[in-house]
Structure 1
C-alpha cells in the first residue's frame, strides 16, 4: 500500500473522530496513568459515552491514541445500549487474532534486532496491542458475544503473515532482521488499517467507530516510524 493511499484511509477515520467530537462526547480519563479509564458519568442515571484520548508520547515519539476501555464484567458499559451491527462485532473478532500475530512478530525483536529503536518500537507495539485486545474482548463480553468467528480463515486477513515467513524472520539477526521486520510489520499494519476503514464504512456502533479510528491512526504513525528507523 502506498503512503498516499494509507493517508487517505486514515483521513476517513479522522473524519469520524471529528463527527463524534461534535456530539459532545467526553474524553476518557486516565486516573493513575497506567491505562485508559472510563469517561466521567454525565449523571447517575446516564453515564457518558467514552471516546479515545490523545496522550503525549515519550521523548522523541509522537502522541498516541488510547482506546476507551469497557468496564469489568458485571458493570454496565457506557453506551451499552447503543446500536451495533454484524460488521461491528466481526471487526473486533478479526482484530483479536490479527493483533495476536503482531505480538508474535514483536516478540522476535529482542535479541535479534540491530537497532535499539526498533526493539523499543516492538515493545510499544506489544504494549499497545495487548491493551487493545483486552478492550476488544471486553466489548464482546459486555454484549454477550463470543470471540470466535465461525468459518473464518484468519490467514486470509489483510496483512497476515504466513508461518513460513514467520519462521524466516525468526532465523534472521542484525540489519537483515531489521529490514525484514519492518517489511512484515508494515504489511501487517497496512492490513489492520484496511480492516479499520472497512469497519468505518460498514459499522454503526459509536465505540467501534472510535476504536477503528484509533487503530488506523496509531498503526499509521508506527509505519512512518519504522520507515524512519530503517531508512533514516
Structure 2
C-alpha cells in the first residue's frame, strides 16, 4: 500500500511539473513588448521571450507551446520595427538607411499577417495592436519609450546613426527569439520563418555595422 501511494504521489508530481512547464512556456511567449516589435513596430502588448523553458508536446495541428510563444512574441517585435522603419522616409538622410528601412517593412509586414493567422487558427489571442506594456520595453531588443521618443525627434545624420544602432539591438533580439523557435518549436512553417529571420536580419546587422564604420 505504501509503495502504491508513493508511486501515485510521484506520478502526480511529474504531471504537475509538466503542466507547469507548459504554462510557463506559453506565458513566456505572451509577455512580449508590444512594440512588437512583431515585426517590429508598435509599443508592445507582450514582451518577446528570448527562450522557452522546454519544448512542449506538439498539438494535433503540429504546433507546441514554443511555437505559440514565438508567434506572440514576434508580432509585437515586428510591429515596433515597422514603426521605426516608418520614420525613415521623412527623417533619414542616407539613401542606404532609407532603403534598409523600406526592406525591413516589406519583409516584416507580411510576417505579422502570417503569424497572426497562425494564432487565430490555433485558437490563440493575437497581441493587440497599439497595446502598451511598459514592463516589456527593453526585452528582446525592444525599444524603450525613451529610445523611441529620441528616434522620433532625430533627423539627418543623427537619425541615421540612432536608427541603425537601435535596429541592430532590435534585430539581435529577433535573431535570439528565432533561434529559440528553431531549437524548441515543432510547427514546420514557424521554424521555416525563424530560419528566414535569422538569415535576413543577421545580414542586415552586418550591413548596418558596416554603414556605422564598425567593420
Shorter-chain TM-score: which interval? 0.5 to 0.7
Do structure 1's residue 206 and structure 2's residue 188 form an aligned pair?
Answer: yes
Aligned to 1:139: 118
Q: Aligned partners of 2:207 and 2:107: how far apart in 1?
A: 15
The higher relative CO (CA closer than 8 Å, separation ≥ 6) is in 1
Do structure 1's residue 187 and structure 2's residue 169 form an aligned pair?
Answer: yes
Aligned to 2:208: 226
Q: Compare the two structures and name the one with the higher helix fraction.
A: 2
Do structure 1's residue 157 and structure 2's residue 139 form an aligned pair?
Answer: yes
TM-score normalised by the chain length of structure 1: 0.61
Tell me: CA distance 1:109–1:221, structure 2 relative to 1, closer, same or farther (3 Å).
same
Query: What is the CA-CA distance between 1:230 and the residue it aligns to?
Result: 3.3
Which of 63, 88, 94 is residue 73 of structure 2 equivalent to? 94
Query: What is the CA-CA distance between 1:141 and the residue it aligns to?
Result: 1.9
**Mind listing any 5+ residue stretches in structure 2 that lack a counterpart?**
1-58
Query: What is the CA-CA distance between 1:225 and the residue it aligns to?
Result: 1.7
Aligned-CA RMSD value: 2.2
TM-score normalised by the chain length of structure 2: 0.65
**Mind listing any 5+ residue stretches in structure 1 that lack a counterpart?**
1-79
Q: How many positions carry a matched residue from both structures?
A: 152
Aligned to 2:159: 177
* Bigger Rg, which one: 2
